[in-house]
């Protein structure tokens, strides 16, 4: 019995699909699963005091930090203005919660870990202040490694666009005087 034309077409399509999937998996082994996202904005020298007041004061972080579908809530006030502060990420979905833990704070940087939810590893973030001829450059850098199996390299390629818009919005709110 000869296979029908529809069956031959189906075999052809499934073989092509299998080859495409195998190629994607093979390429995924050679792509990095780590990512780096950086956004920056320059603020005039005259706004330096207000900028530092917003950045280095834990109680003001909720004024400028954008949390998609949620809000930032200060849960542990540190002895200093910021170092050691702990924030809760309170999402609109009641079962999803995260946290931000502020680590090292210097005159020109703030390092903190963001844990978006309980099932996600902490992601290191650093905000730098650098003097430039035009004013003060505020740079926000996120570096991490995705752990999502063979999809990690593909998600790492998208991480810049996924998280970048949130960084841009938060920086705009931080520097909106």
| Across 12-16, 141-145, 162-166, least confident range | 162-166
* Predicted structure pTM score: 0.78
**Rounded to an integer, what distance in angstroms lies between the CA atom of residue 54 and that of residue 59?**
8
Contacts 24+ apart (CB under 8 A), 119-125: 121/147
pLDDT band at 116 (very low <50, low <70, confident <90, very high): confident
């Amino acid at each position: 019995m000869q296979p029908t034309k529809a069956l031959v077409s189906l075999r052809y399509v499934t073989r092509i699909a299998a080859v495409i999937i195998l190629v994607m998996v093979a390429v995924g082994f050679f792509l990095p699963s780590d990512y780096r996202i950086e956004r920056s904005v320059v603020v005039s020298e005259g706004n330096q005091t207000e900028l530092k007041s917003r950045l280095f004061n834990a109680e003001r972080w909720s004024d400028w930090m954008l949390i998609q579908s949620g809000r930032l809530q200060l849960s542990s006030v540190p002895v200093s203005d910021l170092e050691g502060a702990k924030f809760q990420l309170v999402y609109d979905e009641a079962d999803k919660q995260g946290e931000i833990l502020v680590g090292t704070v210097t005159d020109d940087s703030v390092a903190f870990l963001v844990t978006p939810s309980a099932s996600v590893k902490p992601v290191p973030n650093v905000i730098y202040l650098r003097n430039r001829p035009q004013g003060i450059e505020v740079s926000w850098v996120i570096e991490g490694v995705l752990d999502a199996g063979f999809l990690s390299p593909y998600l790492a390629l998208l991480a810049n666009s996924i998280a970048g818009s949130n960084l841009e919005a938060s920086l705009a709110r931080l520097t909106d005087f």
